[in-house]
Structure 1
Amino acid sequence: MSYGQLGFDPRYPSIGDLKKKAKKRIPKFAFDYLEGGCNEEVNLSKNERDFHDVEMMPQYLQNYAGVDISAELFGHRYDAPFGISPIGLQGLMWPNASEILAKAAVKHNVPFILSTVGTSSIERIAEVTSGKFWFQLYHPAKTEMRDDILQRLKDVECPVLVVLVDVPSFGFRYREIKAGLSMPPKMNIRNVFQSAIRPQWSFETLTTGIPEFATLKKYMEKGLDMGQLGQFMNASFDKRVDMNKISAIRDKWKGKLVLKGIVSDQDTEKAIALGADGIIVSNHGGRQIDAGESSIRSLGNLSGKYKDKITVMMDGGIRSGPDIARAIASGAEFTFMGRPFMYGAAALGKQGGDHTIGLFKAQFKQAMEQLCCETIAGLPGTLIKYK
C-alpha cells in the first residue's frame, strides 16, 4: 500500500507526529496557548484518555460492499463526519492559519467553524469558502454589536451559527499566565526570545502581519494599546449566556442554530425548548473546568436520551480516525477537532490543512473497513461498552 496516495504526507502518519513537528516550529508561548488546559489539566488529559475505554466489535463474516464515510448534516452531505472546531487567535499559532484551514475544509467538503476571536474576518473567510463556513459567536454585551455580527453573517449567507455557552468565566490556565498570554497576548522579553529562535514562524508572522481580532476590528477604536484592548474585550462580551439571550438570537437568526459547550441533561432540554437545531457536546477542550467529565463521557450520557429530539455532535479529545469511530458509535452524529488541525497548520504551513484532513479520512476509512461498516449508521451497532 502506498500511504502517500491516501492524501497525507507519510512522514507524519499520526496527530502525535504533527504535534512534535509543530512544537519545534512555533514559539513556546504559542504552543502553550494551543496546548494548555485549565488548572492541573486533569480534564484535558481525560478528554483523550477516556476515548481509549471505548471498545468496538467487528463483524467480519457479514455481507460487505465497501465503505462510504460521508455524513448528512443540516441538509448537506459532507465527505466525512468531522469538521474543524473554532479556535481563537489561530494566527498566533501559525500565520494565516484560519485561511489555510478554511480553504482545506472547502476543498475536502467538511465544515470549518470561525471563532469570533479568530484572526480572519467573517468577510475574508466567506470569500475563501464561498460562504461555506460556520461561525461561533461569543455573545456580545451590546445588542448593537450582536445584531451587526448577525447581519454580517446573513450578508455572506453563512448557514450555521454556533453560540458558545461554556465560558461564564475565563479558565484559570497556568501556562498562559506564566507566558503572559492572558487575553490579550503580551510580548515580554522571554516571548521575544522564544520568537527569535523560531525564525520561520517569525518571518511568516512579519510577512502576514501581527495577528489581530479581525472580525472585531470594526468595533474597536483605532490606536488601542494592549491594556485598552483588554478592557475592550472584557466590556464587549457577556461571559454568561442564558435562555433569554439565546431566545433573542433564535428570533433573529433564521439559519441553523447550534449551542456549543452542552454537557448536562438540563442544558440539553433547554436547547431543545429554545428551538436549537443541534448541540456540540464539549468541555472547551479541557480549558474551562478541570473538575468536569470528559467530552466522550458526556456524549455517552446524552446521546441516547436526546438524539431523536436534536442533532447531537461532539468536540474534545479526538486524535485519530478510530476516535472518530468511537464517538459516532457512542452516539455523535458528527464530530469536530481543534488542536489536531492547528498542529497540522503549525507543522506543515499551507499544506497542513490538506494533510490533516486527508490523514483523518484515511484513518477513519480504515477503521470503518476493519469494523465492516458500510456507512456510519452501522457504527453504533459495534459499540461494546465503556470500561
Structure 2
Amino acid sequence: MSDYFNNSFPDVADLKRHAKKRIPKFAFDYLEGGCMEEIGVQRNRQDIEAVQLRSELLKPFSGSNLSVELFGHKYAAPFGIAPVGLQGLMWPKSPEILAKAAAEKNIPYILSTVSSSSLERIAEVSEGKAWFQLYNPTDANIRADLLKRITNAQYQVLVVTVDVPTFGFRPRDIRNGLAMPPKMTLTNILQMLSCPQWLMETALAGKPEMETLKPYMPKDMPTDQLAAFMNKTVMGRVDIDGLKPIRDQWQGPLVVKGLINELDVEAAISLGADAVIISNHGARQLDAGESPVEPLQRISQKYGDKIKIFMDSGLRSGTNIAGALASGADFTFLGRPFVYGVGALGNKGGIHTINSLTLQLTQIMNQLGCNNVADLPKHLVK
C-alpha cells in the first residue's frame, strides 16, 4: 500500500471536505476549531501562504533530494505527523493507522499523551519508530512512571509540549459539550447516526478513551470531571524548572514544543534541549498569538547553528512545507491534514496523505531548481 494515491483527493482541501461528511460534527469541530474567535487559525494560514519562493532555472540541476537526517536517523521527507489529541474520536484507530503509515514511509509520527491509543500499542505498530509527546504531569510520580514506560517501550525521541498552561477556551467544544468518551446527548447521537461508517468502525474499535493515561485516572470518573483532572494532574505549567527533571531523567533526544520567542529558545538551549518546535499549538490556545512564520525566521537566524529548529501550526500543503523550510525550519510537522486523510480514506488515509505531500514538495523543489532541503532558504523571497 506504500504507493497508494487516490486521484479524487489530490490535496488536503479535498480530504477535508470528504472527512467532514464522514465524521460527526462534534468530533470534526474538535479537530478543526481554534481558540476564542479563531482569528489565530486564519492568521496562521495567511502568514504561511504569504511566503514566496524564487526559482533558479538556468543552473545545472540533477533532481531533488527530500531526505533529512535527525538524531542519527535519515528520514525520507522533511515533514512528520504532529501530535493530535483524541485522534480516535475523529476516526477510530487513527493513531494506529497513522503510526503504521509513518513507519512504512519513513517519517516521524508523534504520539500525543492524550491519544486514544496507549504508548505501548503505538510502539508496537510503529516498530519502535514513533516519537512521544509529553505534557508535564504536576504529579512527580506520574511523570516518573510515564518516563519509565516511554523508555521501556523504546521510544527514541521525547517531545515536551510547553504551550498549554491553561485549557484553551474553544467555543465549538463548549457548545458541543465535548467529552472523552463523547456524551450521549440527543444532538450527539443524531450526529453519530448521520455518519454510519464512523459509527460502525467505532463499534468495532470500542469507545475512544485516553489509553495512555487510564492507569492514573480514577475509575468511573464522571466525564464532567475530566478537564479538572487533566488540569490538576497531567497538564502542569512547564517553566524551565519544570523541564529540568525531565531533562535529567530522559537520556535520549529532547524536543521542546510550543515556543514562539527568542528568550524561550535561549532557555531551551541552556537546558540542553536537542530541538525546539516553533508553534502556537495550531492557534488553539491564544487567539491573539503570533503565528510561527516570522518568529521562525528570526530564531533560525539567531540560533540555527546551536539547536535544531522545527515548525508546526497552519501547514496544509507541500507549498507550506517548502515555505517553512525556506524560512529556516530544519523540519516540519502537520496535524490536521493527516486526520483529514484518515477521516476521508480510513486505513489508506495516512499513506495517501504522505504521498500527496511528498509529490507536491518534490514538484516544488524541482521547479525551484533546489537540490536539497537545506538549500531552500536560498530560494526565499525576503
* TM-score where L is the length of structure 2: 0.97
* 1:183 positional shift: 6.8
Correspondence 1:237-316 to 2 at 5 A: 237-316=234-313
1:126 matched to 2:123: yes
Aligned partner letter, 1:379 = L
How far apart, in 2, do the equivalents of 1:249 and 1:378 lie? 34
The answer for the alignment partner of 2:30 in structure 1 is: 33
How far apart, in 1, do the equivalents of 2:300 and 2:84 lie? 25
How far apart, in 1, do the equivalents of 2:115 and 2:345 lie? 20
The answer for the alignment partner of 1:9 in structure 2 is: 6
How far apart, in 1, do the equivalents of 2:283 and 2:220 lie? 34
Query: Residue 163 of structure 2 contacts residue 259 of structure 2 at CA under 8 Å; is this kept in 1?
Result: yes
Matched pairs, number: 382
How far apart, in 2, do the equivalents of 1:151 and 1:95 lie? 28
The answer for the alignment partner of 1:69 in structure 2 is: 66
1:92 matched to 2:89: yes
Work out which of the residue numbers 230, 233, 238 in structure 2 matches 1:236.
233
Aligned partner letter, 2:317 = S
The answer for the alignment partner of 1:197 in structure 2 is: 194
Aligned partner letter, 1:308 = D
1:116 matched to 2:91: no
How far apart, in 1, do the equivalents of 2:85 and 2:301 lie? 31
Aligned partner letter, 1:155 = N
Aligned partner letter, 1:282 = S
Aligned partner letter, 1:147 = A
Work out which of the residue numbers 358, 375, 379 in structure 1 matches 2:376.
379
1:15-62 Cα deviation digits (max 9, x unpaired) = 000000000001111110000000111110111111121111100010
Q: Which runs of 4+ in 1 moved over 6 A?
A: none
Unmatched 5+ stretches in structure 1:
none
Correspondence 1:113-262 to 2 at 5 A: 113-181=110-178, 185-262=182-259
Unmatched 5+ stretches in structure 2:
none
SS of the residue aligned with 1:83?
Answer: strand
Do the aligned partners of residues 238 and 36 (structure 1) sit closer, same or farther apart at CA in structure 2, a change above 3 Å counting?
Answer: closer
Quote the RMSD (CA, aligned, Å). Answer: 1.5
Query: Residue 6 of structure 1 contacts residue 362 of structure 1 at CA under 8 Å; is this kept in 2?
Result: no
How far apart, in 2, do the equivalents of 1:189 and 1:5 lie? 41
Query: Residue 263 of structure 1 contacts residue 282 of structure 1 at CA under 8 Å; is this kept in 2?
Result: yes
SS of the residue aligned with 1:325?
Answer: helix
1:111-151 Cα deviation digits (max 9, x unpaired) = 00000000000100000012111111011111111011101
Query: Residue 86 of structure 1 contacts residue 115 of structure 1 at CA under 8 Å; is this kept in 2?
Result: yes
Higher deviation after alignment, 174-183 or 24-33:
174-183
1:297-348 Cα deviation digits (max 9, x unpaired) = 2212211111111100000111111111111100000000000000000000
Work out which of the residue numbers 53, 70, 93 in structure 2 matches 1:56.
53
How far apart, in 2, do the equivalents of 1:334 and 1:23 lie? 29
Query: Residue 184 of structure 1 contacts residue 229 of structure 1 at CA under 8 Å; is this kept in 2?
Result: no
SS of the residue aligned with 1:162?
Answer: strand
Higher deviation after alignment, 186-195 or 264-273:
186-195
* 1:237 positional shift: 2.0
* 1:235 positional shift: 2.6
SS of the residue aligned with 2:305?
Answer: coil
* 1:378 positional shift: 1.4
Work out which of the residue numbers 31, 34, 40 in structure 2 matches 1:43.
40
